[in-house]
Structure 1
């Protein structure tokens, strides 16, 4: 049975850490290690982490100076021993069969590089996280795979890891591009196995809507992968600015009254269909 390394960076998320790690402990797949990376937290992350370590010997704890999310993920993966990697943020959680289903799919087909799943929100927002199916050309325009997907350590080693200059977010988007740019399949499990916590304030909410941060992030990803954009798009500069304009338009639409009414009606429809 192949070892899976679940890497859990934590920066001042002690109140959520136990729930995230408990979802790992409860996995039907037993051959895993969990690496909790305390990225310079000033809350009681260490106390919570050490208590979890006593609960299960498969849990390991590391403390380091604050270096940001990408740095913490890279640190954890470098110190991991598994054939497969699953990044899991300290405020999210996974369902009981995620590792089992993902590992079996990766072992079944060597052409598959990434396995992810359907996902749901919890916290301040609930409901299914509807994302378009993976297509590499679309991946160049916007992220279509959340961070908590399972992949091989050897494929990570063929990249430069998570870009530590992407300090505001987008590090997972950039990583998927680097992992998949030379080919490889992506498989989505047709069941909800990942739960993404929605909060009033998070790294994501601080990025979305802040045009300076968004442009900083997009510039890094675009410039790093300019040759890919040239390969897939006739006029990559125009594509970049069109995507930026679309982002502005979507922000305006999102603030409109009609959009808010339609969104409320859609949520009511979803509750009715799933009840």
Structure 2
């Protein structure tokens, strides 16, 4: 399998970035670089990430002057050395065989851009139901109006360049816009596997409120196009930094 560039965006994630980086040190697939792109955190996120330089030899920690999800992902892609890209959020957890399984499926299916479903291992029943409902929506929409979870998206440098990257003018659903545009040129599908996702977003916003927010956002996108003027007043990094 070809080497991989992993781009991780962060903003005040000192309590979580270490967990993800530890997961990466335990991967059965080892041929990858890690690029942590920080949105000018005010905590020790960069220091924690840099502390893994011994266990992840090909590690870059890049601190930006500005904040932004799409800006961070695009910056990481511009620093990447390898063709295959993986965009991750800092609150993701990966099983040791995640990269091996994902790369095998990407090669077998001939996919340039792909999403991954959210797992709910060890979470309460309410969370499991919420994640299952969300995953069903992801599965159904992938064939006509693709949506995605930006916390875990595979791409390639050539597809990313062709798409002109993530749209930095979109605050909410920039990940959905990315895969929707990708599906027009590059075949997009979800891989039949999961990654673990920190439940703080559900816990802080509430299942019903968060579900309504994303349903409303995607209906609005379907009817009126992408939101480039922060129509829903969504803020990057508004989740509390719980342990």
Asked which structure has the greater CA Rg, the reply is 1
**Aligned positions of 1:217-236 closer than 5 A:** 218=220, 222-223=224-225
- Contact kept in structure 2, 1:41 and 1:66, CA below 8 Å: no
Task: Determine which of 152, 160, 163 is the counterpart of 2:164.
Answer: 160
Q: Which of 173, 176, 181 is the aligned partner of 1:173?
A: 176
Partner residue in 1 for 2:155: 151
Structure 2 stretches of 5 or more lacking a match? 228-243
Q: Distance in 2 between matches of 1:21 and 1:205?
A: 31
- Following superposition, the deviation at residue 215 of structure 1 comes to 5.7
8 Å Cα contact 1:4-1:33 kept in structure 2: yes
Alignment of 1:1-275 (within 5 A): 1-110=1-110, 112-121=111-120, 126-127=127-128, 129-130=131-132, 131-132=135-136, 133-134=139-140, 135-139=142-146, 143=147, 145-147=148-150, 148-167=152-171, 169-189=172-192, 191-192=193-194, 194-199=195-200, 200-201=203-204, 218=220, 222-223=224-225
1:146 Cα deviation from its structure 2 partner: 1.9
Q: Secondary structure at the match of 1:195?
A: strand
Distance in 2 (CA, whole Å) between partners of 1:175 and 1:221 is: 17
Deviations along 1:209-231, one digit per CA (max 9) or x if unpaired, are 569xx669945994359xxxxxx
> In 2, are the aligned partners of 1:37 and 1:64 still within 8 Å (CA)?
yes
Counterpart of 1:251?
none
TM-score normalised to structure 2 length: 0.76
The two structures, once aligned, show a CA RMSD in angstroms of 3.1
| Deviation at residue 117 of structure 1 after TM alignment | 3.9
Counterpart Cα distance in 2 of 1:73 and 1:183: 19
TM-score normalised according to structure 1 size = 0.67
Q: Does structure 1 conserve the Cα–Cα contact (< 8 Å) formed by 2:115 and 2:153?
A: yes
Deviation digits for residues 135-179 of structure 1, max 9, x if unmatched?
A: 33242xxx2x32213222211111021111122x21111111011
Number of matched residues?
Answer: 214
| Structure 1 residues 224 and 127, CA gap change in structure 2 (3 angstroms) | closer
| Higher helix residue share | 1
* 1:207-255 Cα deviation digits (max 9, x unpaired): 76569xx669945994359xxxxxxxxxxxxxxxxxxxxxxxxxxxxxx
Q: 1:42 to 1:217 in 2, by over 3 A?
A: farther
What's the secondary structure of 1:12's corresponding residue? coil
User: 2: distance between equivalents of 1:88 and 1:113?
Assistant: 16
Distance 1:83 1:172 in 2: 20
CA distance in 1, matches of 2:10, 2:219: 22
